[in-house]
Structure 1
Amino acid sequence: MMRRLLLALMTAGFCNSAGVLAAQDLPYGQSHVFAAFRNGERIGTHTLTFQQSGDKRVVTTSIDFAVKALGLTMYRYMHRGQEVWNGNTFESISTQTDDNGTKYGVKAKQNAAGVAVVRDGGSAPKLSADDVGFQQGGAKQETLPAGTLPSTHWNLNQVKQSAMLNSQNGALAKVQITPRGRETIKTANGTLEATRYSYTGDVQMDQWFDDRGRWVKASFKASDGSTIEYILQE
């Protein structure tokens, strides 16, 4: 029932309310951590880490979720990813995902022809219609349009995109993003002001970014109708 819990979140994308994010203006420290809640109950953690060396930047994503009922784990999700950037230019991404037993692998690299993607779903026991553009039975290669960015949430420039690389399954996700104005949001240690963006199309969710350009909240409906929220732990 919960196998598609993370699909919307992993296909989401993201501009500073003052404009696009410049490479030298990266607003994050070494780590950026969210607690994830389902209908108000904590189910896991989403952690980003940033390593900068000159113009080179490596961004690592770690996600671990577990939904329990009556002491039993009903759903488990694990995702690991690593992006490489040169200044403000995306170079490559590699991810591995275990979505309650359904396994995905994605490798993508920017080249002269576009974004070359190799996605592997051969170890998945069964794929649903939600796995847009993803086929079972071995690796599939595809080249996406040049300039396509991965849907890894932290990069504020993605809010200008109309399509993104799904960082879980490697498919191209088409999305429309609409700013909804300023709101006060709650974090683990207080409140802050942020701009809300709504996503429709292949992605249906809301994201919030603060005045520094940081991703600070997410909210969406899971396939079972439950509400998933990300709360910043700062």
Structure 2
Amino acid sequence: MRRAVLATILVVTGAATTAATGDFPYGSTHSFNVYRNGQQIGSHTLSFQGNGQQRTVATSIDFAVRALGLTVYRYSHRGNEVWNGSTLQSIDTKTDDNGKQFTMRARHDGNRLAVERKGADVAFGTSLNDQGLQRNDAVVEALPPTVLPSTHWNLNQVKQSMLLNTQYGTPSKVQITNLGRQTIKTSSRSIEATHYRYAGDITMDQWFDDRGRWVKAAFKAFDGSEIEYILQE
């Protein structure tokens, strides 16, 4: 998707404790309503399956921006991850960004992450994580096997200096600042969370609670509008 995420060492006790225990913090689904300048435009849902070391994570994102009764922008993203413990085994994604089609797939292959990407022409550096392909044919690239995908939910991403952009299949260099503890609101309550700010190829704000769950996000879209994710629980 156009957003994607994260890097620096955890220093907050609650979040660090969750990561250290290895307890998986999510239930079967984890869903956000997404707002643009205060108006709901869609949803972002994660679905988790598996037990122990084996796990799959499915991502479903749908946005539609309307003006004067017409849909002026539409975004759809589908992804599927396969994990063995903390090691990404594979990821496949398909994105429709207002008519521009992107696909990417990555496989853990010994000492590398083999990535294949394909997409329409997009300009580099136009907005949040808008670093795309300059051609329509498939491109294959080898990345370090420890690179994590920018799928937002994984607290271990905050330890990374590079992430795999899951819309374009390109590496994204990132830096994160820990802004400390804040109280954020979900759909039903207020909770304590740790606030991280991302810079570099990804610019956004993200919050994780003491269980290690992704609980909020905020960023500016390509047109300067304010996007906010509100956890539904």
Using structure 2 for the length normalisation, give the TM-score. 0.91
2:45 partner letter: T
How large is the RMSD of aligned CA atoms in angstroms? 1.6
CA distances 1:137-177 after superposition (whole Å, capped 9, x unpaired): 21000001220000000000000000000011000000001
Write the letter of the residue equivalent to 2:124. A
Matched, 1:61 2:66: no
Report what 2:144 is aligned to: 145
Does residue 129 of structure 1 match 2:124? Answer: yes
> Following TM superposition, by how much is the alpha carbon of 1:17 offset from its aligned partner in structure 2, in angstroms?
2.6
Show the counterpart of 2:175.
176
SS in 2 for 1:217: strand
The percent of aligned pairs where both chains have the same amino acid is 58
1:30 aligns with 28
Opposite residue 37 of structure 1, the aligned amino acid is: Y
Partner residue in 1 for 2:228? 229
Q: 2 CA distance for matches of 1:204 and 1:106?
A: 22
Change (3 A) 1:162 1:19: farther
| 1:165-215 deviation per Cα after TM superposition (whole angstroms, max 9, x unaligned) | 001100000000111000000110011000000000001110000011000
d(CA) in 2 for partners of 1:53 and 1:172?
29
Identify the residue that residue 6 of structure 2 maps to in structure 1.
13
Report the count of equivalent residues: 224
Counterpart of 1:120, as a letter, is K
Deviations 1:112-134, CA, capped at 9 Å, x for gaps: 2311000011xx3x422244252
Q: CA deviation at 1:54?
A: 3.8
User: Structure 1 residue 48 and structure 2 residue 46: aligned?
Assistant: yes
Q: Which moved more, 1:191-200 or 1:126-135?
A: 126-135
Q: What's the counterpart of residue 68 of structure 2?
A: 70
The residue that corresponds to 1:92 in the other structure is 90
How far apart in 2 are the matches of 1:127 and 1:205?
20
Q: Is the 8 A contact 1:219 1:229 kept in 2?
A: yes
Q: Distance in 1 between matches of 2:99 and 2:21?
A: 37
User: 2:165 is matched with which residue?
Assistant: 166
In the alignment, residue 160 of structure 1 is paired with which amino acid?
Answer: K
How far does the alpha carbon of each residue in 1:90-123 deviate from its partner, in whole angstroms, 9 at most, with x for none?
A: 11100000000011000001112311000011xx
Distance 1:23 1:174 in 2: 28
> In the alignment, residue 28 of structure 1 is paired with which amino acid?
Y
CA shift for structure 1 position 12: 1.4
- Are the counterparts in 1 of residues 18 and 210 from structure 2 also a CA contact under 8 Å? no
The answer to whether the Cα contact below 8 Å between 1:12 and 1:153 also exists between their aligned partners in 2 is: yes
In structure 1, distance between residues paired with 2:186 and 2:106? 33
Give yes or no for contact 1:84–1:91 (8 Å, CA) kept in 2.
yes
Aligned equivalents of 1:181 and 1:74: distance in 2?
37
Where 2:148 maps in the other structure, the secondary structure is coil
CA contact (8 A) 1:113 1:143 kept: no
Please tell me whether the aligned partners of residues 162 and 173 of structure 2 are also in contact (alpha carbons under 8 angstroms): yes
Distance 2:49 2:211 in 1: 19
Q: Rate the CA distance shift 1:65–1:46 in 2: closer, same or farther, 3 A.
A: same
Which moves more between the two structures, 135-144 or 152-161? 135-144
SS at match of 2:157: helix
Moved >6 Å (runs of 4+): none
